[in-house]
Amino acid sequence: MQKTNEQTGEIIALYLLWVQNIIMALIMVFVPPIIVSFAITQLSDLEKYKQSSSGKYMQKYMTRRMEILRFIGYAIMAIGAWYHISNQVIEEKS
């Protein structure tokens, strides 16, 4: 569920970059994930998720290198949105 919400914020941020509203775009990219992550870590026990098969999969495959690659991909889309290069935004997200 959080992944869907995260992607929704990213898509809204891309639109905001497209219309040159960088402040709101930055807010959409950073504020909701920080709030949700803080709330989840404070209000729930995540150990059972860490020990689940999907938790183990994430530990194995979501390395720092993969996080950097995802960030670079999103940065490419953000630049494409800012400069109205639509195929750069569409191709990267697909």
Amino acid making up residue 39: A
Amino acid making up residue 62: M
Measured from the Cβ of residue 20, the count of other Cβ atoms closer than 10 Å reads 10
pLDDT tens-digit readout, 30-89: 998 899 889 999 999 999 988 999 999 999 999 999 999 999 999 999 999 999 998 877
Among 48, 38, 36, which Cα is nearest to 7's? 36
**1 pLDDT higher than 50:** no
Domain boundaries, the chain: 2-93
Specify the pTM: 0.78
